[in-house]
Amino acid sequence: MDSLEGFLLVASPRLPDPNFCRTVVLIIQHDKQGAFGLILNRPTNNTVEEIWEMIGEEPCESHQQINMGGPVGGPLLALHDDLQVSEREILPGVHFATHKDHLNHLVAHPVQQFRIFTGYSGWGAGQLEGEMEIGGWMKLPATADYVFSDAEDMWKRAAQAIGEQVTRPLITKSGLPANPTFN
């Protein structure tokens, strides 16, 4: 299977894991050893400001929610559009950071687009491929618009986009009625 880095995985109803029900995951890394990604549509009840009061060195006034990146615990992680503190470019306009100084910079300069995550999603070698083979995940090329968009209806929008990709080639111009009211 080709690498899914930079793709969105959209959970299908066939996926048995409740941790991923109706989720959209951005794949950050995917190779022979496994895969690593972040759930984009699981905001928590905590804001960046609340978390920074506990761990930050400088005050933060961001009321943006912290996101649950997945069921695996780990450090805080960020997706952002600030090239200055990029540790890795995931796709055009979307960068990744985990370093404390980079996270402090992102929350101190809230004019930039960013999302902070706690936890991540991880798969061992071959695990994600197996889940895809049974129809647990659908894939969609990621864009910065998806990554930084509102989480509330993200799963529905992504699932519809996949449906359109599947059906659009099947509908030919000659197959459309001359008058759509005949439908």
Q: Distance between alpha carbon 175 and the CA centroid of its chain, in Å?
A: 36
Least reliable range by pLDDT among 2-6, 12-16, 23-27, 178-182: 178-182
Amino acid identity at 179: N
Q: Is 157 contained in some domain?
A: yes
The whole-number pLDDT of residue 3 equals 93
Q: Is 118 contained in some domain?
A: yes
pLDDT at 177 over 90: no
Q: Is 81 contained in some domain?
A: yes
Domain count, the chain: 1
**pTM tops 0.85:** yes
Q: Is 179 contained in some domain?
A: no
User: What are the percentages of helix, strand and coil residues in the chain, rounded to 5?
Assistant: 30, 35, 35
Q: Distance between alpha carbon 119 and the CA centroid of its chain, in Å?
A: 13
The whole-number pLDDT of residue 141 equals 95
CA-wise closest residue to 68 among 51, 83, 84: 51
Q: Is 64 contained in some domain?
A: yes
Question: What's 141-179 look like in SS3?
Answer: ECCHHHHCCCCCCHHHHHHHHHHHHHHHHHCCHHHCCCC
Q: Is 1 contained in some domain?
A: no
| Domain range enclosing 85 | 7-174
pLDDT at 129 over 80: yes
Mean pLDDT of 116-141: 95
pLDDT at 114 over 80: yes
Owner of token pair 């509330």: 152
HSE, side-chain direction, 13 A CA sphere, residue 178: 0
- CATH number for the domain including 35? 3.40.1740.10
Q: Is 180 contained in some domain?
A: no
